[in-house]
Amino acid sequence: MSHNPIRPWRNIQRRKSRQIMVGKVPVGGDAPISVQTMTNTDSGDVKATLAQVIAAADAGADIVRISAPDQAATRALKEIVRESPVPIVADIHFHYKRAIEAAEAGVGCLRINPGNIGDESRVKEVIRAARDNACSIRIGVNAGSLERHLLEKYGEPCPDAMVESGLEHIRILQDNDFHEFKISCKASDVFMAAAAYQALADATDAPIHLGITEAGGLTSGTIKSAIGLGNLLWMGVGDTIRVSLSADPVEEVKVGFEILKSLGLRHRGVNIISCPSCARQGFDVIKTVEALEKRLEHIKTPMSLSIIGCVVNGPGEALMTDVGFTGGGAGSGMVYLAGKQSHKLSNAQMIDHIVEQVEKRAEAIEAETAAADRAAE
Ligand code: SF4
């Protein structure tokens, strides 16, 4: 995170971690915090799974995970990996053979806990397959599936037990001289997950995959994830994130990005600043924002748009946004461009006109960025 001398209260000092690769996507170090999701189709159904991977990638996912519970799934992975625009992580539970098949199918990462796949020879075989196929590993500790000896030692799932479990799995990989791994330690309890992640962040320099597991439906899960992941990210912990929702994977990606955008850690698409509306509104703010969110989904350029119901807050917000609209009286309002008052606009033409202005501004920002990149070469 680059430091901002004008607004130091926005600085987030990221924890220093090693960098690994998940396919072509770097995770950890100074790489941008990546956003992941997971498909929920039958993994053996190439067409349906690939469609979901592509939809998630279009929404901004950097990495997509696919469950590989059987051979039909690992067979399908080969074709999915070939066609996917983003690296694929294969989720393996216990079966070491599925892990080997997935690595050979070309996935970028295996989600597997080396302590759960049997004797040392199996662990070595999986590590060899990962190494031979340039495949990294994600150790995934989960409060709900801790090893029996840890539950006996600690009595119940707790942050210390989770961290101990993670470090045991790490040791197995390190003993086999394998260092291309990242780690998660998820819990559905926000406090437990946050405490475990903080302790883990101090105990290892491996990149950290953040998640609040089984967070719930779209609204409650979003809030839980924003609190849990938001706090950790704010403290500088986390190199890649997955928001787990009982909802479409595309929603997980959108929520993940919104969390990162709220903290200034990633920027993508239009950040809409809008008021909640009240009796002073000069137009229907809620309907307008709903319509604009849909109409502006295709914009990937990071930029801001303020849609404010009246002059109480409109001009002030518009000063800090690329495009702004503030409701006025008599069925019209004021358009602001690059923070400056520009022209009057009737409410009836507002949506089409704002979309046009945002598209123009996005083009201008892209051209400025390209010119700056050329000058820096
Ligand atoms: S900006 Fe105006 S319309 Fe929007 S909530 Fe505030 S007072 Fe109401």
Provide the whole-model pTM.
0.89
Element (H, E) at 323: strand 323-327
* Protein residue whose Cα sits closest to atom 5 of ligand 1: 277
CA of 306 to the centre of ligand 1 (A): 12
Nearest 10 degrees: Cα torsion 127, 130, 131, 134: -160
Where do runs of H (alpha helix) occur along 105-158? Answer: 120-132, 148-154
CA of 289 to the centre of ligand 1 (A): 14
Atom of ligand 1 nearest to the CA of 309: 3
- Give, for ligand 1, the residue of 308, 311, 321, 325 to mutate: max count of ligand atoms closer than 8 Å to Cβ: 308
CA-CA distance, 366 to 372, in Å (whole number)? 10
* Protein residue whose Cα sits closest to atom 2 of ligand 1: 310
Q: Give me the numbers of helices (H) and strands (E) for the chain, helices first please.
A: 12, 15
Nearest alpha-carbon partner for 88 in 111, 70, 63: 63
3-state secondary structure of 298: coil
Please list the pLDDT of the chain residue by residue as tens digits (377 residues): 456 777 788 889 999 999 999 999 999 999 999 999 999 999 999 999 999 999 999 999 999 999 999 999 999 999 999 999 999 999 998 899 999 999 999 999 999 998 888 888 999 999 999 999 999 999 999 999 899 999 999 999 999 999 999 999 999 999 999 999 999 999 989 999 999 999 999 999 999 999 998 878 999 999 999 999 999 999 999 999 999 999 999 999 999 999 999 999 998 899 999 999 999 999 999 999 999 999 999 999 999 999 999 998 888 888 889 999 999 988 999 999 998 999 999 999 999 999 999 999 999 999 998 888 888 87
3-state secondary structure of 178: coil
- Give, for ligand 1, the residue of 272, 273, 274, 281 to mutate: max count of ligand atoms closer than 8 Å to Cβ: 281
